[in-house]
Structure 1
Amino acid sequence: MKVTYLLFILFSFSTNFRAAAQDLSSEEERTINQLSKLRYNYPDSALSLIEDKIQESKKKKTVFLAELLFLKSAIQYIQSDYLASRNTYEELYSLSTELHNEIGIARALNGSGLIYLGRELYEEALKEFEKALEINRKIGDQRNIATNLFNIGICYQELGKWQEAFNSYKESYKISDRNNLATYALMDMNRIGMLFIEKNQLDSAEYYLLKVYESKPNQWEKSYNLSGLTELEIKKGNYNKAIEYGLKSFQIAENIGAKWDASEAAQKLSKAYEGSNSFKKALEFHKLHKAYSDSLLNEEMNREINWAELKQAKAENEQLKIQKDLLSSDKDRNQLIIALLSSLVLFLVILALLYRRHIRQKEKYNQNLGTINRQLAEKKIQIEKQNEDLKQLNNAKNRLFSILSHDLRSPINSVKQLLDIRKSISEVDTEKFMDRLTTEVGNVNHQINRLLKWANTQMDGFKTNPKSIQLDKIIDENLNSIKYIAQEKAIELQHNPSNSFVYIDQEQLHIIINNLLNNSIKYTPKGGCIEINYSEDDKSVFLSIEDNGIGMDKYTLSSLKGDLNERSFSRKGTDKEIGTGLGMLLVKQFLTFNHSNIEIESEEGKGTRFILTFPKATEDI
């Protein structure tokens, strides 16, 4: 689920400074109020005025300076200048610690958490928000407690921890309702409603979303609420009602410039119109969704650049610190030599004493030299470790590119097959052909978006992020993406679903299932059959994918069961389909990464059976 970041950013930054007002003069309080009003409509002007005030106030470290730094960091974050915003938050944290200003410390921690959240580093963001929450609970700041709980709920929701997210939103709602924080309470109810949609508990979702809808929320929250109601009605099959809500959500999102909300509303409208058989309107809103998605992708690239600059700046700061330490060491050594020479001139007659002192100084120098040598050795070890990390990152990148290129072949081949037969169909079948082509293009777009989103999480190194997954739903999604390929070969797909949950990385599971199903179709002749069954015990879930295809000889089967990092031998399929051997390599590696395994039973001329064993999930959420 994509996070509507702008909502909680404005939510967090909208917190006023009344808790610190007693530490400000009336003139300072008036200045902060005026700058706060300017920051949303005229951020550049507000930032310039804040910089001037900071320069005037830097000689005195006061709460007023902390308030100026807070406004400055907030504007920099809204403008996506994460490098500058992070530096300002660190300055705010340092100043607030020196002033023993707990409000400023909590704000700095919350801001740091937002930067991590914007980078989808949810574990790191959660730690910062929890530190801020602890401080706000201590000082009894109810408004900021509600803010921190809301942001913590978002982190848990993105991490797939449904119950923890629900508890955080619920507590935030109770505090907001008790303290007449109406906007905060509506945001919490909206999030709770969306949680219930994820759990497919539609009655509960409808209760919370309609409660927000009837409360007349602000335009930001109304757009998000209507988008949720649109998704709810689509799940219920009420497509006309979904279109009504979706159009309102899309209009509001466009009016307030909320690109992500507009993109989501357009996508849901496309789905609703498709459900009501209004394919022309569905295509129109699909194009709008694509346009907004491209724009958001460009903005995401800019954020990636800012984050890279932040990392580079940190590295440069570390290098400057090392250089400063070395210069300081040289200065100390020079001063020591001067002292020795001065002593030699002044106390020439006391040669014995001078000699004794010289010996002592030499020992001290050798100790310092030993310390420096140890430091250099430690630096060498650190550099070697960094080189090894870079090597691992490079290997992860190569694996990532292989996965992307391999897994995009199947959906693109489906579209190519449809385009190859377009000249041979009659005018009567043209509409069916276009419907089918639209569905396949949608499947391609969905798979590409899913793979790119997963690839983004792997940019800093190859990682496995297991969570509880309903296995038969993943099978259904992959069967849907290959059904037209199976139809071209008149292959029957028999799926006997079971409500089984496994603990595994979701995207890696998609890649495993997609490769095995495509292999079964590839080596099953026309008119064949592929059957999918499930079983389980207390600790494991077993998945069987069996076909009545051409099977494998002993050499081919031995190749498949070979080394974990070795590609297997690839044969041509029953329709002369070609392969690379990469698919089964990825299957074996990803199963190993997720503490799962595969058994292969095959007999030449009779078919093949894959038996996969997955860890059973302990919670069905």
Structure 2
Amino acid sequence: MKFRKSLILVFLMLYVSNGWSLAVFQIPVIQQIDTLLKEADQLKYANLAVGLKKVYQAEKLAQKSKNEQKLGEVYTMLGIYKYLYGTYDVSLEMYLKAIYIHKKFKNDAFLARSLNGVGLIQSGFNQNHESIETFRESLEIDLKYNNYHGIARSYFNISISQIGLKQYEQATTSLRKSLLYSQKLKEEESNHMVENRLGDMMLIRNKPDSAFYYFENLLKDNTPPPNNWEKAYAYAGLAETYLSLKDYDNAEINAVKSYDYAFKLNTKWDLARIAKILSEVNFKKGKLIEAYDFLLENNALEDSLYNERKMSDVNYLQLKSMEVENLKLMNKNAITLQKAKRDRIIIYAFLLLTILLIGVLFLVRRNARLKDVFNNELNQKNENIENQKLLISKQNKALLNLNQSKNQLFSIISHDLRSPINSIVQVLELQKDKAFTQEMQDEIFEQLHKQTLATSNMLNNLLHWANTQLDGQVVNPENIDIASIVESVISSSLLEINKKGVTIVNAIPEQKLLITADIGQVRIIIQNVLANAIKFTPTKGTVDINYTEDEEFIKVHIIDSGKGITQEKIDQILNINKRMNSEQGTSFEEGTGLGLLLVKQFLANNNGLLNIKSGHTNGTEFIISFLKK
């Protein structure tokens, strides 16, 4: 039993250890490939030969482990190195293989980098418009993933193609964008490349001070310091800048430094550029032999580069030709397949077209309905806006009227209450000083009593009028017996009637005369019209009150026996909606001019009417019309 358990335990240990060892074997291979590619990426501008060896090592590991995804990443790095060596046809072949694999595995990071490489090759063959499109495709992927390194690289490469198209303003903008993203990552290598190109742009645009700034800033940077290629480029840029300023000594010093770095790297393009600069500098300094030697070196390097470009062009064209042949073969095979599928494709196309047409018709109809709905909503909103404008206009008008009424109220109060109150105060002060005899007191107090009653009546009218003007008057209509209201008002006015000796003749009808109005406002209307009739009726005179009706109104006729008023005064009372100057009554009674204003306003509130008749010598008749029940 124990032996069996031990055997099982040993078997499990062997199984687990074997599986673990297989996993351990697979993981280090991927890590080794990643490490080799990372080291190669860092060496591409420092030591091409060592970097390329590491790429080949990574390629063998990827092929041995049959890891197609990693093999695609190796192809991308091979494309970069072949480009740096100037074998553009091989570089393009590597990039195209890599793009196929990256799309298959959705490896967007390396896909963007491979597209960048293709764009560089296109740019190298002066296909600048096409290269910009390829770079923008790469940029779109990097922007999607916020890959600042890739974004900086794409903007930098776009600037190179823009320089080829002599779009210097656009190129400067692209370079500054590249520098911005490089600085976010603090990648000095990318910064140095961009600063070199920005220096070129400033020199091309005749801004030598700015060119000096970029080249010298690069050479002073020690975090980390620029590599040998970047130094060679920067010193060459300084040499060209000094040459443009005719400072031949400094131009020569910097050109020699650039030449030393380029010679160590054996980069033909840089050596050709510097040889040309040194040839021109020596020529300007009168060193014709040295100038001639450097000119010969420049021509030799240019010829070598020309031959390499021609070979690359041929190889590039051969690669394109092979692609065309492959396409022909693929097309030939596709024809056989398409022949069998043609009918089915036609049917599918017809069905798809039918569905599309139905979809288009549906969208057109739907858009038409939405347009109608939108137009209706828009019209409704416009109508609402217009209504709101009208409402605001009315409110503004009402507010203005209210403000005017307030000012009018204060004016009336200050004018009409000051005099009677001052008179009362003066009389009381004189009485306090015992300035009146008993006989004078009786006469003065009688006048004071009249003055107080008049002031009280005026104050009541002011309060009623102020309420209507400031707060608005709420009308509460109800059924009222108008004759009983008139009788009630007569009873409350008996003191004034008796003092003046006026006779009131109220012809009360046998049946109730019912009207529909606000009882409080009706009382004030009758009270003011009756007070006005008493005021203008002479002592011992008569005021007649009688009632008539028609189909719509019940009319109250109040007729005084005064001297009457002119037609002009009647028109003024009926047509002017503001306070008028009050005239003295037959016993020198004073008024405020508000009574008739209240009468007209309250009649308007209750849909009533006011009419006035006068013979100018035989009294005045006020006809007040109220709606029937």
TM-score scaled by structure 2?
0.46
Q: Computing the radius of gyration over CA atoms, which structure comes out larger, 1 or 2?
A: 2
